[in-house]
Chain A
């Protein structure tokens, strides 16, 4: 082994060991534990497939898993629609004002997502802003109760909490775009819409894919937002996993549910995101 190669290995060694212990090992234990047995006496390493059988037998898990994927997919699409024009707006600012507009987009996301979820309670609650405005305008007489604690609220909350992960990568790919391509397209007689569709949009596909993967991934693992805003109808898979540990103490079933969630999410990414290389999503290509 050459000296330079050894130097490289020594440099990556501390972080690699750290991650093997605190990331790889816990995940390995999770997978192992999904085949173990939980009883009132605790969880023991007796091999069983029962946990997975329970998940297959009880339709509630399928229902919530499907609902989770549906909510995550909808949130991803809505985020894309909401974010694309904004990313375009940011990319087309002059260099002088760009930093300001960017910081204004970042700022709300620089605080805990517990807070960012919580802000929707005074927005949509009975005495919230939306109800108050609607009553004062005279559109309604009494507060609307369906504004909050349902699947719709979960959607709003998740889009609000995660949309930056869509805006940012799209902005980055638009910002990198060579302006002479747009001029060339215009010079060759293409109108603005056609230039957008044939030049700008295809070149921003990497950013779109990165954003979709990120938002989908984050939304699938959501716990806080559905718990706080979703009521009983807007729950997601995370809200089914957590009680196995905090309420019923069925660690083995909880682990099996976790494994199912991870596998299904990865499968979705592989099926729908074949063109995306995961490393590129996070390293910006």
Chain B
């Protein structure tokens, strides 16, 4: 039986010595991840003018304050619409790209490097290139003129990398048979391809949404007067340590965590793991 075991987890026995130590370590690791976050949640209910302990009294006023703040609501609306548009456009481009990658293409290696470029460029540089690019091209800085293309470019490689393994196993002969039988390209896509790749595409869009929703450094350099949520938080952080900041952090976390969780559940069902968000 042992020889038939199919998972690494079955080999626990071999390492039984360190098993308890490993569980304790994992507990510490989770504590490292979660203590700061739980502290933030706790402090978001603290009725105190300074961010910190001790906990004075329970209050919801920081939450009511941010949900009554025009700036905050505008930033949330901007980020949500931007996230949806970036996710849809980047995923569409990535689907075509991943489908194309099943063919023998000239200079495929070079193309791959171009695709990975937005990830490979260090964060700050990834921001300033857009400041000079749009600045030099005299493009009006704004949510839809500059930030949207920047987000699409940023999300595209991640969407592509998420889709590529799913597309790779996709049999090209299916579409070719349909085409030979006289189906037009759009019909082939709608009737044959899309039903197969749909779960992956939806998961990719959710993942892309959170990437866009959380993006900060590129947005900071590419934006005009309209802010996104992370930029709004940053300007609040830079100006003053306002007591409602923990609540802002919690709201941002809840939005992106819940979208990611749904995306994860969808991907888990379609049998692949999700790559993680970068920054």
Contacts and interface: CB of A to CB of B under 8 A. Distances in A.
Interface of A: 4-5, 7-16, 18-20, 22-27, 29-30, 33, 43, 82, 85-86, 88-89, 91-95, 98-99, 101-115, 118-123, 125-129, 132, 160-161, 164-165, 168, 172, 174-175, 177, 179-180, 182-183, 186, 192, 195-196, 217-218, 220-224, 228, 237-238, 241-242, 245, 251, 254-255, 258, 261-262, 265, 278-279, 282-284
B88 to A, nearest CB: 14
Given A11-B103, A180-B3, A223-B217, A30 B25 contact: no
B82 interface: no
B97 A115 contact: no
Contacts of B80: none
Nearest to A258: B125
B152 interface: yes
B112 interface: yes
Contacts, number: 311
B183 interface: no
Q: Kindly state the interface size class of chain B when it binds its partner.
A: 35 or more
B5 A179 contact: yes
Nearest to B263: A110
Contact of B14 (A4, A186, A245): A186
Interface in B246-271: 246, 249, 252-253, 256-257, 260-261, 264, 268
B153 interface: yes
- Tell me if B's interface is mostly helix, strand, loop or mixed: helix
Contact of B51 (A20, A91, A122, A217): A122
Contacts of B12: 92
B99 interface: yes
Given A104-B33, A282-B157, 4 more contacts: A5-B104, A15-B115, A18-B152, A222-B124
Interface stretch (B35-43, B61-69, B70-78, B195-203): B35-43
A71 to B, nearest CB: 13
A128 B42 CA distance: 12
Given A12-B97, A18-B153, A120-B36, A262 B52 contact: no
Nearest to A89: B26
Interface in B118-169: 118-133, 135-136, 149-150, 152-153, 156-157, 160-161, 164-165
Interface in B5-29: 5-12, 14-18, 22-23, 25-26, 29
